[in-house]
């Protein structure tokens, strides 16, 4: 066993210089043969390959990337790695990347601007490009950071670089109009964190629709967590008059609100209708199933990856701005029966769904 381990260590320690010395050629020739680039005589190529095989030489991925200037790896930088929204984004990007022969490196930066900058420096040269999701309005990438490598900003508010953003304003506005069409007159909104660009746009959509209805806004602070929605709903049901509908800025808060309403003996949807935003997978399995503004989250990730490939290949000469559509998915929590099964892969080709 000791001899076997020793042999393995020697095998793994073989370098390109060892192969060059054994084959009697230069390191540059070895590199041209192994990368299939540059003029090399057939006999020399065969000798190099035979020598590399005999020495059990395996090219180092990082070294190879220096010569080819590609790594077939992309980076993904997220503010958090916890929660169904982020896991669905990762799933969409990873699936699309694997189908195109790319590896995915994922890291979180906890919405800290300095940490984001440090991570961008750390992955430079190790990835062909990076997708950055930085919804915190203080975490804006600089023009210099964007110039260092191909970048796509995913749901990241204002800033440089090609970007794709959810239609948060349109989705929130459509939900308020839908609740009003169901006879709900006192529609409360559980806000998201005010530093978050998604939350701000959803609140703006809510307020715009409420003004158009000549109604009064009813708002309660939240933080995009189940606990935040739970506490906000506890507060809202104590108000007089109480709201007859609660629209949470994301599904996690709506699910927390549902628990609070159930504990308080408030029947959903008879007494208070409930709606969320995102359509995370669990939304359709709670009771009653949650009406929500649907974002095809994994498809959003896939589209971000395709945009990054365009940036890496140089197929685009200008920065692009894409708006990712949303649509209503009406379920039992606002007093309607479940509509036909939602097919997220179609969402890019359809606008807002029927209310």
pLDDT in tens, 10-26: 444 678 888 899 999 99
C-beta separation of 213 from 173 below 8 A = no
Whole-model pTM over 0.75: no
Residues listed for the chain: 355
The count of other CB atoms within 10 Å of the CB of residue 39 is 6
Q: Residue ranges of the alpha helices (H) in 182-250?
A: 197-212, 226-236
149 vs 187, higher pLDDT: 187
Report residue 304 CA to chain centroid gap: 8
Task: Return mean pLDDT, the chain.
Answer: 84
> Is residue 66 packed enough to be buried (19+ CB in 10 Å), middle (13-18) or exposed (0-12)?
exposed
pLDDT of 204 higher than 80: yes
Minimum mean pLDDT among 102-116, 181-195, 340-354: which range?
340-354
Predicted confidence at residue 37, as pLDDT, reads 67
Q: How far apart are CA 88 and CA 156, in angstroms?
A: 17
3-class SS at 349?
helix
Predicted confidence at residue 24, as pLDDT, reads 92
pLDDT of 220 higher than 60: yes
Predicted confidence at residue 280, as pLDDT, reads 93
Could you tell me the pLDDT band of residue 30, with boundaries at 50, 70 and 90? confident
3-class SS at 68?
helix
Averaged pLDDT, 276-302: 96
Q: How far apart are CA 53 and CA 43, in angstroms?
A: 15
Averaged pLDDT, 208-227: 96
Minimum mean pLDDT among 74-88, 128-142, 206-220, 329-343: which range?
329-343
- Domains defined for the chain, CATH in brackets: 2-68 (1.10.260.40), 73-166+298-324 (3.40.50.2300), 168-295+327-349 (3.40.50.2300)
C-beta separation of 55 from 14 below 8 A = yes
Predicted confidence at residue 60, as pLDDT, reads 58
Minimum mean pLDDT among 85-89, 127-131, 134-138, 340-344: which range?
340-344
Report residue 125 CA to chain centroid gap: 22
The count of other CB atoms within 10 Å of the CB of residue 110 is 12
pLDDT of 303 higher than 60: yes
Percent of the chain topping pLDDT 70: 83
Q: What is the DSSP letter of 137?
A: T
> Any residues with CB less than 8 A from the CB of 73 and at least 6 apart, and which?
102, 103, 104, 105, 126, 127, 128
Predicted confidence at residue 111, as pLDDT, reads 66
Q: How far apart are CA 181 and CA 293, in angstroms?
A: 16
pLDDT of 45 higher than 90: no
C-beta separation of 154 from 304 below 8 A = yes
Predicted confidence at residue 31, as pLDDT, reads 80
Predicted confidence at residue 64, as pLDDT, reads 53
pLDDT of 342 higher than 60: no
Beginning with the edge strand found earlier in the chain, give each strand of the sheet holding 291-294 in spatial order: 218-220, 187-190, 245-248, 273-278, 291-294, 327-329
| Residue whose token pair is 């790896």 | 73
Task: Look at residues 287, 258, 144 and name the one whose alpha carbon lies nearest to residue 190.
Answer: 258
pLDDT of 345 higher than 60: no
Averaged pLDDT, 222-237: 97
Tokens representing 177 are: 């109009």
DSSP letters spanning 245-260 = EEEESSHHHHHHHHHH
Q: How far apart are CA 269 and CA 311, in angstroms?
A: 47
Predicted confidence at residue 269, as pLDDT, reads 96
Between CA 211 and CA 220, with CA 217 as vertex, the angle to 5 degrees is 145
Between CA 330 and CA 338, with CA 336 as vertex, the angle to 5 degrees is 55
pLDDT of 63 higher than 70: no
Task: Give the pLDDT confidence of 315-327 residue by residue, as tens digits.
Answer: 666 778 899 999 9
Predicted confidence at residue 71, as pLDDT, reads 81
Could you tell me the pLDDT band of residue 6, with boundaries at 50, 70 and 90? very low
Predicted confidence at residue 351, as pLDDT, reads 35
Q: What is the DSSP letter of 324?
A: E
pLDDT of 341 higher than 50: no
Q: How far apart are CA 152 and CA 164, in angstroms?
A: 8
pLDDT of 180 higher than 50: yes
C-beta separation of 334 from 293 below 8 A = no
């Amino acid at each position: 066993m000791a001899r076997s381990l020793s042999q393995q260590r020697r095998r793994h320690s073989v370098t390109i210089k060892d192969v060059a010395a054994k084959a009697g050629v230069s390191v540059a020739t070895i590199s041209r043969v192994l990368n299939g680039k540059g003029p090399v005589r057939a006999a020399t190529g065969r000798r190099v390959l035979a020598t590399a095989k005999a020495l059990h030489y395996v090219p180092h991925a990082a070294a190879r990337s220096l010569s080819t200037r590609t790594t077939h790896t992309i980076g993904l930088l997220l503010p958090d790695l916890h929660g169904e929204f982020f896991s669905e984004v990762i799933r969409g990007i990873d699936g699309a990347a694997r189908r195109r022969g790319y590896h995915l490196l994922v890291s979180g930066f906890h919405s800290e601007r300095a940490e984001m900058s440090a991570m961008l420096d750390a992955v430079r040269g190790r990835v062909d490009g990076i997708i950055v999701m930085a919804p915190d309005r203080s975490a804006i990438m600089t023009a210099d950071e964007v110039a260092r490598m191909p970048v796509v900003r995913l749901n990241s508010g204002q800033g440089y670089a090609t970007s794709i953003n959810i239609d948060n304003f349109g989705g929130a506005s459509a939900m308020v109009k839908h609740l009003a069409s169901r006879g709900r007159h006192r529609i409360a909104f559980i806000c998201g964190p005010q530093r978050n660009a998604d939350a701000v746009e959803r609140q703006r959509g809510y307020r715009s629709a409420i003004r158009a209805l000549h109604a009064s806004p009813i708002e309660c602070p939240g933080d995009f967590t189940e606990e935040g929605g739970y506490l906000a709903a506890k507060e809202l049901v104590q108000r007089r008059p109480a709201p007859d509908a609660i629209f949470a800025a994301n599904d996690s808060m709506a699910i927390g609100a549902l628990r609070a309403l159930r504990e308080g003996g408030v029947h959903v949807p008879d007494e208070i209708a409930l709606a969320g935003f995102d359509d995370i997978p669990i939304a359709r399995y709670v009771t009653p199933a949650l009406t929500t503004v649907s974002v095809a989250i994994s498809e959003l990730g896939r589209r971000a990856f395709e945009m990054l490939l365009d940036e890496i290949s140089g197929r685009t000469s200008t920065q692009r701005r894409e708006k990712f559509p949303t649509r209503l998915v009406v379920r039992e929590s606002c007093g309607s029966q479940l509509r036909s099964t939602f097919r997220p892969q179609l969402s890019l080709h359809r606008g807002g769904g029927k209310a």
